Structure 1
Amino acid sequence: MKYAFPQDFWWGSASSAPQSEGESLSFGKSATIWDEWFRLQPERFNQQVGPQQTSDFYRCWRDDIALLKRLNHNSFRTSISWARLIPQGRGEVNPQAVAFYNQVIDEMLAQGITPFINLFHFDMPLAMQQQGGWESRAVVQAYAEFADVCFRLFGDRVKHWFTFNEPIVPVEGGYLYDFHYPNVVDFSRAATVAYHTMLAHALAVRNYRARGQDGEIGIILNLTPSYPRSANPADVQAANIADLMFNRSFLDPALRGSYPQELVALLRQHDQLPPCQAEDAALLAQGVVDLLGINYYQPRRIQCRDSLVNPDSPFMPEWFFSHYAMPGRKMNPYRGWEIYEKGIYDILTNLRENYGNPRCFISENGMGVEDERRFEQNGQIQDDYRIDFIREHLQWVHRGISEGSRCLGYHMWTFIDNWSWSNAYKNRYGFVQLDLASQQRTIKKSGEWFAATAAANGFEEQR
């Protein structure tokens, strides 16, 4: 069977400024929260590898874009670093950053690669974090100004903009579960961060549309389907609450312009609602996106709690559910994540049936593997496991499209093995192998497979 995809399907991959550019304190760029956390606690980063070097896209951009072309990308997502473009968060624009991003955008277009540009990928400028980060409405306004500067400088050529990548992650990591700076564990503050993020999103969308630049603006959400352990009402309700907190808290405002009333009622019941202002509802309603990016890696398996909550423990989402390890599940042992390909189809089906079938694309999907040099033969990593992973997810994407879902493309995470937060280079995700010491790039077997798939706009089912 031939899996043929629609004409003009977006074939590509995704990266981000903080994970690929390097030069994190050079060429006018100021520190982000990652530079600061690494300065304070380098031991929390795998092998104490910090954000300074990464895959050196700042210096290697021309060669890397040529590699994108070799991999038959027709589109590629990266981000603009707020701390590089406006080092103090507000005010003066860094001309070196403008020159750099202009070169990158122009070269991508010259190579026939459509730039997809995201504005925030977990990389809060330290100057803004010191003013409260997403807890501060002043920082919300500063972000909207940064976004508008980007639209003014680059919007003549960039026609696909995204306000945020995975906005739930700074909430979870920075304010609930202690895996991002500022390492706060406080649900009330987390709720404020989440709410203010969506206000910032809506302001950026409003600013973009006011410019009339003939493009589109969206958001990228990591959607993690919540599957109940059983049909027991207690399990079903537990999965519903997990879905409300981790998916619909961003999906509903992005696609409907408002929050689910069930979530609002739950947070009000537990006195966890963020402070709201009278004009917020009208602003949020203006933030409905033109295009939704879907990052999918794993499902969320949920069961009801079978033990009482410690009343002295911090209020947390897990007061309402427990995680469930489904027997027989397929795992990526290196990342500790379940591989469940059908989840990507379930997301598309949910969007089609419950959200008006929005224009969307798979903006990330990927498999991180440790010590890939084990699989090197004749100088090339034979990552057949990654080819299988992509193929099997694409089969479910194809089914969703065949049933009417408006999925316009597939971007893999990621192009070149890149720096990944506190995991640094522990797990590798790229189509292209990076030798950190020499910065040499070598295309893996999966890169060749993807290039052939993109060229053919599909693939034959293996028998």
Structure 2
Amino acid sequence: MAKLTFPEDFEWGAATASYQIEGAANEDGKGESIWDRFSHQKGNITNNDTGDVACDHYHRYQEDIELMRKIGLDSYRFSISWPRIIPAGSGKINQKGIDFYKRLVNELLKTGIKPAATLYHWDLPQKLQDKGGWENRDTAKYFNEYAQLMYKELGDLVPRWITHNEPFVVSMVGNLFGEHAPGNQDHQKALQVAHNLLLSHGMAVESFRESGIEGEIGITLNLAPVYANSENKKDQIAKDYSDAFNNRWFLDPVFKGEYPEKLMALYQKEFNQPFELETGDLEIISRDIDFLGINYYSRALVEYDESKLLNFKTVKPEASNYTAMDWEVYPQGLTDLLLSLDDQYTKKPIFITENGAAYDDQIAEDGNVHDDKRVDYLEKHFRAAQQAVEKGVNLKGYYLWSLMDNFEWAYGYNKRFGIIYIDYDNGQNRILKDSAKMYSKVIENNYIKA
């Protein structure tokens, strides 16, 4: 049997996010987040679901860590709830919130699992949103103060830190498309939010260096390699704009200290002053990071559309397979993306901080969950990742999304990404899916069949 082997020090993990799994929305001094507010407004979420209880991980974290041990995870990526730590976003600190994450991290370490902490996975304190949220430059300052507190409290326990998860989604999906909290639909607002998010990232990296704690820090960007639907010149223009909007608007400032010139020129023509950019901002944003985290789910196939501001629209190829999210299954895109990042942006370590698929999982008559499509999806993406390693990409680890089924943002509990099934109707019972058993073998062997 031919084997595709991973490097000896390759790390296998799984990822979650605070609002999606913790529950305990109003317990132990936690403040309200924008997702608490957004999910309680009727019509925003499928079935009017909320994250009030979610997977009840706040109370069941020990049980969940035992399942991580059973699967064999090397590392666990979780996010810290800012309003659980500082309920108003600035000012008074909630010690009970800090204590929860200390218990979580110590339990992980005791079990031999490396903690990887994300400082921001979308649950902004509502009190800061009331003051303008990420559109307000002061929020970057408050985020930096929160980051400094977490380094102080957990810096000796957590070896890997991620400042932000998917600033594209926070800025564009939350403030341009209006599908996520806070639900705005304003292009200039979205651009200002994106800039302030990146600014806060750079400030938090600087604070990490100044803290003197050991460990590594980076950022997680959701990236999709862009392909033109044809060779014609207009579709190539569409490809360039799509790549600039989805990928380079975040990659370029972090690695090159600049925004994509062509897109910036278009925004300046459209909006005159697209967003507030102060002298020195880009220098802060491009502070040296230790690694890049990437979230990959699918590719973007685009064609020219002159009716759009950015001249592109996405195309859905009919012959492809799709997940329950209606995302095309395209493993080659992961290899292409990793090679492109290695070639154009960084030789530093890269971690796949999310990759996975939602399917309509059911409990079978034998009491198990046979998620064959997810098994196939994951195996193909493991091969795609290994291909990139073989070609010289400095890929250091892979975090599967997600450890467990959870509150899938605007979709509520309607979409299941987990390798652990959560039986919401039966006491939140946890069941290891076939994909978890497959993943366990991959981790144990450190290879995938060719």
The one-letter code sitting in structure 2 at the alignment partner of 1:203 is M
- Confirm whether residue 330 of structure 1 aligns to residue 321 of structure 2: yes
1:459 and 2:427 aligned: no
Deviation at 1:431, TM superposition (A): 1.1
| Structure-1 residue corresponding to 2:56 | 56
Structure 1 partner of 2:37: 36
Amino acid in structure 1 at the alignment position of 2:366 = N
Q: Which amino acid aligns with 2:3?
A: K
Q: 1:413 aligns with which of 401, 408, 430?
A: 401
Q: Does 1:351 align with 2:365?
A: no
Q: TM-score, normalising length from structure 1?
A: 0.94
The Cα of 1:319 is off from its aligned counterpart by 4.0
Contact 2:30 2:84 survives alignment (8 Å): yes
Corresponding position: 1:362 with 2:346:
no
Residue 269 of structure 1: how far off its partner (Å)? 2.4
Partner of 2:419: 431
How far did residue 185 of structure 1 move? 1.4
Amino acid at match of 1:303: E
Mark the runs of 5 or more structure 2 residues left unpaired by the alignment. none
- 1:320 matched residue in structure 2: 311
Q: CA deviation at 1:90?
A: 0.6
Which consecutive residues of structure 1, in runs of 5 or more, have no partner in the other structure?
310-316
Matched pairs, number: 447
**Alpha-carbon separation, structure 1, partners of 2:141 and 2:68:** 35
Mapped contact 2:22–2:58 kept (Cα < 8 A): yes
AA in 1 matched with 2:251: L
User: Runs of 4+ in structure 1 displaced over 6 angstroms?
Assistant: none
Distance (Å, rounded) in 1 between the aligned partners of 2:59 and 2:273: 46
Following superposition, the deviation at residue 272 of structure 1 comes to 5.2
The CA deviation at 1:100 is 0.6
Shift of 1:48: 2.0
Please tell me the residue identity of whatever aligns with 1:32: S
Q: For 2:252 and 2:433, how far apart are their aligned partners in 1? A: 38
CA-atom RMSD in angstroms = 1.3
Q: How much has 1:166 moved relative to structure 2?
A: 0.7
SS in 2 for 1:76: strand
**Distance across 1 between alignment mates of 2:273 and 2:53:** 40
Paired residue secondary structure (2:115): strand
Deviation at 1:8, TM superposition (A): 1.8
The 5 Å alignment of 1:387-398 reads 387-398=375-386
Deviation at 1:243, TM superposition (A): 0.6
For 1:195-210, list aligned pairs within 5 A.
195-210=195-210
Tell me the residue number matched to 1:314.
none
Deviation at 1:377, TM superposition (A): 4.2
| CA–CA separation in structure 2 for the residues paired with 1:336 and 1:397 | 22
Whether the aligned pair in 1 keeps the contact of 2:241 and 2:310 (CA below 8 Å) is no
Asked if the contact 1:301–1:325 (Cα under 8 Å) also holds between the matched residues in 2, the reply is yes
Indicate conservation of the 8 Å contact 2:228/2:239, yes or no. yes
- The letter of the residue matching 1:119 is L
- Percent same amino acid among aligned pairs? 33
Shift of 1:62: 0.7
Give secondary structure in 2 for the equivalent of 1:139: helix
Q: Name the structure 2 match of 1:164.
A: 164
Report the secondary structure of 2:413's partner residue. coil
Equivalent residues of 2:253, 2:282 under 8 A apart:
no
Partner Cα distance (2:168, 2:429) in 1: 34
The correspondence of residues 152-231 of structure 1 with structure 2, limited to 5 A, is 152-231=152-231
Task: Give the AA of the match of 1:261.
Answer: E
User: Alpha-carbon deviation of 1:318?
Assistant: 4.9
In structure 2, how many angstroms separate the alpha carbons of the residues matched to 1:111 and 1:157?
13
**Aligned with residue 340 of structure 1, among 301, 313, 330:** 330
Whether the aligned pair in 2 keeps the contact of 1:349 and 1:405 (CA below 8 Å) is yes
Structure-2-length-normalised TM-score:
0.97
Shift of 1:176: 1.1
What is the CA–CA distance in structure 1 between the aligned matches of 2:135 and 2:159, rounded to whole Å? Answer: 30
**Counterpart for residue 302 of structure 1:** 302
Q: Secondary structure at the match of 1:162?
A: strand
Say if 1:281 and 1:335 are closer, same or farther in 2 by CA, change over 3 A: closer
Q: Following the alignment from structure 2 to structure 1, what is the Cα–Cα distance between the partners of residues 316 and 433?
A: 32
Is contact 1:224-1:298 (8 Å) kept?
yes
1:361 Cα deviation from its structure 2 partner: 1.2
Instruction: Please tell me the residue identity of whatever aligns with 2:377.
Output: F
Distance, in Å, in 2 between the alignment partners of 1:354 and 1:84 is 38
What amino acid is aligned across from residue 39 of structure 1 in structure 2? Answer: H
Q: CA–CA distance in 2 between the matches of 1:162 and 1:7?
A: 23
- Which amino acid is 1:31 matched to? E
2:91 alignment partner, SS class: coil
Deviations 1:390-417 (A, max 9, x none): 1001111111000100011111111111
Distance in 2 separating the partners of 1:460 and 1:224: 26
Distance 1:206 1:298 in 2: 32
* Residue 356 of structure 1: how far off its partner (Å): 3.2
- C-alpha separation between the residues in 2 aligned to 1:212 and 1:263? 38
CA gap 1:377/1:344 in 2 versus in 1, 3 angstroms: farther
Matched, 1:289 2:277: no
Q: Which shifted more, 294-303 or 30-39?
A: 30-39
